[in-house]
Structure 1
Amino acid sequence: MSDAGRRRAGTIAWVLLVLASMAMIGYGIWRAGWHIWLPVPADQEQVWIGNRFIFAGCALSITSAVWSGARENRLWVTICVGLPGALVGWATLDNPYDLKRYVAAVVAYPMALGGVAEVIRVRGRRQTN
């Protein structure tokens, strides 16, 4: 396989990692829901399960940011793909029953998708900062 083919395969794998992290975070947020008051114990268990998905997605998001840096993507792309993990993870750690994680996702998801779009636009070629 040529160097360009390996680079293209790496780009596809990286894009899939970013999208998988966003899907896991989104599913975790949907599963956890949000509550004004402390939920009943049955609902608390659903929140804990959702939080596990959120934290797994956040780990994938941070991993994709590290991989983005290793792939020599532009700095803003690396920061943007790591934002869902950092912002949603922080909001979930701060208060697992609050609405902040929704706001963090609404802010971070478009930025992460913008970073993915930039990498797709340049077709996975090496980028200059």
Structure 2
Amino acid sequence: MTRPTVLFVCVHNAGRSQMAAGFLQHLAGDRVDVLSAGSAPADQINPTAIEAMAEVGIDIAGEQPKVLTTESVQASDVVITMGCGDACPFYPGKRYEDWKLDDPAGQGIEAVRPIRDEIRSRVEALIASLG
């Protein structure tokens, strides 16, 4: 079987989707191809998201927000959206999930930690569902 490709999408591709991609890469390794993008990408990754991930040993500091393209959606088996709503293109035959998560933008580390931990538990469930 080929490796599944998972695309995480949020508006700015600076917090939630980057943390989710970091967890999936870390926990699944080379069993899954991981993409992330935003419908309106920010200039840089949220520094508090970087700090929160560093606390659990995952470095996302080298990542850059990327723009969501139809090609990235078409290349993906699973598309996880996080608050981007209608900005995310829909293609039949893809598995879609919408994760309702608070946006870490502008939040302090105390507020971002529970978001990070919720993302980790959802990524662990996602990995289990991928087999």
Is TM more than 0.5 here?
A: no
Interval of TM-score (by shorter of Structure 1 and Structure 2): 0.3 to 0.5
TM-score by length of 2: 0.36
Structure number with higher helix proportion: 1
